Amino acid sequence: MTKQRKAVALISGGLDSLLAVKLIQEQGIYVEGINFFTGFCVEGHTHAIRDNGKAKPKRNNALWAAEQLGIKLHIIDVIDEYKDVLINPKHGYGTNMNPCLDCKIFMINKAKIWMVENDFDFIITGEVIGQRPMSQTKYKMPIIAKQSGADDLLVRPMCAKNLPATLPEREGWINRELLGDVTGRSRKPQFEMADKFGFEDFAQPAGGCCFLTDKFYSAKLVDLWQAHGHKEYELDDIMLLKVGRHIRPAPHFKIIVSREEGEGRFLQGYKKEFISVDSSSHKGPLTLIDGTPTSEDLELVARIVARYGQGRTAETVTVTLTEKTGEKRDLTVQPFDDDAQLAAWQV
Ligand code: SF4
């Protein structure tokens, strides 16, 4: 009797990993998925708290993909281990603060360890040659396979025909002829494949799967590192970068101004860790102060908070400052009216 071969797939929730798994399942291989949670994933955070796009269902696309494929999905928290990948990427950063090459090597290495521990036979990813300049080029794919330790147990079903045959292909566990030959940035072949397999409503995240490819998020991360004087971070630090307007009027403090109700409710959870400011005479955004503001700075913050509330055109607005201890005091101020300055302070 031939042995039932088993593959572990990296599942991002995007179309490519969905199709990659399907191509392998079609060949009678048993597949389970892994989704790594780095803390920078777009999924399930901002999606879940912001009101924008309320009409769209909020879902975790990796779980959705697993459900579509009928596979078991392991969501693995790698927040702590990932810090070294981001802080010291051997291959550097991409256009923004995305260390894609090191990230791929790290994830595939973790998948290889999982594969061995769980008695699986090979690894699959949704990578496509030429789709991403940093990590998905024909030259970089062998680097990932080698440095992750996966070597020729790493199969990229979407573009396998354009790469050297891997061990599962050479051993006949899978038929190379039935795998894909997709290259480049066009999504047309993927859409055709999705259509053929009957997948609808799959995720097409415009900014990719993680915040590190986002230039605004990356600017906030660099600002955080500069303000702290080092690159170490905690999960709360990087979560807060996903929320609100970040305004830094001076190196020793910044403010995080919620942009809508969902963000305001999220920031409520941090009131014990930061001085917070609510607009009390008018409706306005909840704001957190990060750093060590002087009393003059607090006056300025009060004016900025007033600017973002419904009292922006009023003569004066009263805001309530709440210390981390819960102690409160009111400040009545004129709303800040220099929008050019505010724009210059925005991180
Ligand atoms: S986009 Fe983010 S998660 Fe994806 S490879 Fe790059 S750094 Fe890693």
Going by alpha carbons, the residue nearest to atom 3 of ligand 1 is 210
Give tens-digit pLDDT for 98-140.
999 999 999 999 999 999 999 999 999 999 998 876 667 778 8
**Total number of residues shown for the chain:** 347
Which atom belonging to ligand 1 lies closest to the Cα atom of 107? 8
- If one residue of 213, 217, 238, 242 were mutated to test the ligand 1 pocket, choosing by the most ligand atoms within 8 A of its CB, it would be 213
Token pair in block for residue 298: 């607090």
Which atom belonging to ligand 1 lies closest to the Cα atom of 38? 3
In the reported structure, the alpha carbon of residue 99 is separated from the centroid of ligand 1 by a whole-number distance in angstroms of 7
Which atom belonging to ligand 1 lies closest to the Cα atom of 212? 2
Which atom belonging to ligand 1 lies closest to the Cα atom of 101? 5
Which atom belonging to ligand 1 lies closest to the Cα atom of 100? 6
Going by alpha carbons, the residue nearest to atom 2 of ligand 1 is 210
- CA separation for the pair 139, 320 (Å, rounded): 57
Taking the CB of residue 9, how many other CB atoms lie within 10 A of it?
A: 31
Q: What is the pLDDT of residue 42?
A: 79
Pocket of ligand 1 (CB under 6 A): 98-100, 103-104, 135, 208-210, 212-213
- CA separation for the pair 179, 304 (Å, rounded): 57
Query: Listing from the earlier edge strand, what are the strands of the sheet with 253-257?
Result: 245-250, 253-257, 287-291, 275-279, 317-322, 328-333
Q: What is the pLDDT of residue 8?
A: 98
Give tens-digit pLDDT for 144-169.
999 999 999 999 999 999 999 999 99
Give the closest residue to 159 by CA, choosing from 325, 257, 16: 16
**Quick one: CA torsion of 235, 238, 240, 246, rounded to 10 degrees?**
160
Asked whether the beta carbons of 322 and 278 are under 8 A apart, the reply is: yes
Give tens-digit pLDDT for 6-40.
999 999 888 999 999 999 999 999 999 999 999 99
Which atom belonging to ligand 1 lies closest to the Cα atom of 41? 3
Long-range pairs, 158-165, Cβ under 8 A, ≥24: 158/16, 158/19, 158/20, 158/23, 158/126, 158/127, 158/128, 158/182, 158/190, 159/127, 159/128, 159/129, 159/183, 162/129, 162/138, 163/129, 163/138
In the reported structure, the alpha carbon of residue 107 is separated from the centroid of ligand 1 by a whole-number distance in angstroms of 10
Angle at 302 between CA 327 and CA 241, to 5 degrees: 85
Q: Residue type at 187? A: R
pLDDT digits (tens), the chain, 347 positions? 789 999 999 998 889 999 999 999 999 999 999 999 999 987 766 666 666 656 566 678 899 999 999 999 999 999 999 999 999 999 999 999 999 999 999 999 999 999 999 999 999 999 999 887 666 777 889 999 999 999 999 999 999 999 999 999 999 999 999 999 998 888 899 999 999 999 988 876 555 678 999 999 999 999 999 999 999 999 999 999 999 999 999 999 999 999 988 999 999 999 999 999 998 999 999 999 999 999 999 999 999 999 999 999 999 999 999 999 999 999 999 999 999 999 999 99
Q: What is the pLDDT of residue 205?
A: 56
In the reported structure, the alpha carbon of residue 339 is separated from the centroid of ligand 1 by a whole-number distance in angstroms of 35
- If one residue of 210, 214, 215 were mutated to test the ligand 1 pocket, choosing by the most ligand atoms within 8 A of its CB, it would be 210
**Entry pTM:** 0.90
SS (H, E, C) the chain: CCCCCEEEEECCCEHHHHHHHHHHHCCCCEEEEEEEECCCECCCCHHHHCCCCCCCCCCCHHHHHHHHHCCEEEEEECHHHHHHHHHCCCCCCCCCCCCHHHHHHHHHHHHHHHHHHCCCCEEECCCCECCCCCCCCCCHHHHHHHHCCCHHHEECCCCHHHCCCCHHHHCCCCCHHHCCCCECCCCHHHHHHHHHHCCCCCECCCCCCEHHHCHHHHHHHHHHHHHHCCCCCCHHHHHHCCCCEEEEEECCEEEEECCCHHHHHHHHCCCCCCEEEEECCCCCCCEEEEECCCHHHHHHHHHHHHHCCCCCCCCCEEEEEECCCCCEEEEEECCCCCHHHHHHHEC
Going by alpha carbons, the residue nearest to atom 5 of ligand 1 is 100
In the reported structure, the alpha carbon of residue 1 is separated from the centroid of ligand 1 by a whole-number distance in angstroms of 40
Token pair in block for residue 58: 């909020």
Strand partners, 73: 33
In the reported structure, the alpha carbon of residue 103 is separated from the centroid of ligand 1 by a whole-number distance in angstroms of 6
In the reported structure, the alpha carbon of residue 96 is separated from the centroid of ligand 1 by a whole-number distance in angstroms of 11
Q: What is the pLDDT of residue 53?
A: 56
Q: Residue type at 340? A: A
Q: What is the pLDDT of residue 56?
A: 64
Going by alpha carbons, the residue nearest to atom 6 of ligand 1 is 100
The structural domains of the chain, ordered by start, are 6-210 (3.40.50.620), 243-345 (no CATH)
